[in-house]
Copies of this chain bind each other. A is one copy, B any other.
């Protein structure tokens, strides 16, 4: 027998889920537009070769298409690499774009925590040479506006700089080639104990001593003042660390002007697993919520260049909103089931033709409306339906109303009933006094 299940890690969305999903996406989209971003769209799958060597240890999570005698393709893992490919193939040197779409990862799914194999990301990115840290600050400002918009509660935007992290690893004595894989492990800091992190780092070649020193740095607390601690530390002797610390200071300064610094914290343990980040990295979460980070991003200055031989370098910075995670934080409270404004009911008969005439008038006036097409229906069951779907109006067609060229309009909320001539129905419904 054929199984009717959806593939592992994917799910259907019911109308209620869809309504919420669409609302979240639309609200995020409006923030992107507020910042002057323009939309682009890329295919759901890419040439496999574009996706290789971009995601570090997560490359194993890429979904491949079957070789059906054509090109070798894979489903997109994120919207960042496709954006870099878009810039490179169209030779675009400057762009502020957004893209909202599904991405695919063969990960261990957890529906409750909003972790699926197919999920929606909403991305905002700025490409092009800018005044130092300005694009990064705008990214933080946009993140801040999105997080505050949903009314979910207190949130933190954690930032770090990849160069600080690699400088620390240099001081600890980790070899260059291991930076990526060590970052992958450090990235798990919120999900694993330091004991397990340490064990994994030892497996990756670090000595117990090196693990201890790494931990010392990673647990440096504080907000912006961590930057002061770093300035007093040997790691500050490394040129790229010095540059990064100054960049972070400028980021905090610009964010204060933009009004988005109150939730911003410096977190030296923030690593981000992906290979392509080069400078500022960020991750944002709602405090005390179980879904983990809902936004992640950072600077990736070399990604376009690394796509191919003749590709130029275009500095980029941006972030992805994990729409499904925000969804899972809002869904419990959400109860929209329908967009219908008027239900055309019938009392004392079916009156199909008459109901259709009324429906046509309503729809021609752009009023979302529906009626029943079943072979029988009691007025009680119609009222039940209207109540369940929270439809604000019922327009009732009955024998005496038809004879008089009228309908009865019932406000489902206030219970107010009125007989209205058919030709006055639309203006009656649109009159704020009757709503």
Chain A residues engaging chain B, CB cutoff 8 angstroms: 1-8, 10-15, 17-19, 21-22, 33-36, 38-47, 49-50, 63-68, 70-71, 73, 75, 85-86, 88-90, 96-97, 102, 104, 106, 118, 126, 128-131, 134-135, 138, 141, 145, 254, 257-259, 307-311, 337-340, 350, 352-353, 356-357, 359-360, 363-364, 366-370, 373-375
> Which residues of chain B are within 8 angstroms of A50 by Cβ–Cβ distance?
2, 4
Q: How far is the CA of A11 from the CA of B45 in the complex (A)?
A: 10
Residues of B with C-beta under 8 A to A67? 66
Contact among B14, B104, B258 for A360, CB-based, below 8 A: B258
| Inter-chain contact A118/B5, CB cutoff 8 Å | no
Residues of chain B within 8 A (CB-CB) of A43 are: 6-7, 10-12, 118
Is A337 touching B38 in the complex (CB atoms < 8 A)? yes
Interchain CB contact (< 8 A) of A7 among B45, B126, B366, B367:
B45
Looking at A12, A337, A364, the one whose CB has the most chain B CB atoms below 10 A away is: A12
Residues of B within 8 A of A39 (CB): 13, 15, 18-19, 22
- Nearest residue in B to A354 (C-beta to C-beta)? B257
Residues of B with C-beta under 8 A to A126: 373
Residues of B within 8 A of A90 (CB): 12, 14
Q: Report yes or no: B118 in contact with A3, Cβ–Cβ below 8 A.
A: no
Q: Is the CB of B2 within 8 A of A308?
A: yes
* Given A4-B308, A370-B35, also A353-B257 (CB < 8 A): yes
Q: A34-B368, A360-B258, A373-B134 known; A18 and B2 CB under 8 Å?
A: no
Number of copies: 2
Q: How distant is the Cα of A89 from the Cα of B138 in the complex, in angstroms?
A: 45
Contact check, A15 vs B38: say whether CB atoms are below 8 A apart: yes
CB distance from A385 to the nearest CB of B (A): 10
CB pair A44–B44 under 8 Å, yes or no, is yes
Q: How far is the CA of A42 from the CA of B13 in the complex (A)?
A: 6
A335 to chain B, nearest CB (A): 13
On chain B, the residues within 8 Å of A89 by CB distance are 4-6, 12
Contacts of A367 in B (CB 8 A): 34
Which of B42, B65, B366 has a CB less than 8 Å from the CB of A12? B42
A398 to B431, CA, bound (A): 48
Q: Name the residue in A308, A353, A363 with the highest tally of chain B Cβ atoms < 10 Å from its Cβ.
A: A363
Q: For A65, A71, A337, which residue has the most chain B Cβ atoms within 10 angstroms? A: A65
**How far is A3 from B308 in the complex, measured between Cα atoms in Å?**
7
Note all chain B residues with C-beta closer than 8 A to A138: 373
Q: Residue on B with the closest CB to A11?
A: B43
Q: How far is the CA of A366 from the CA of B27 in the complex (A)?
A: 12
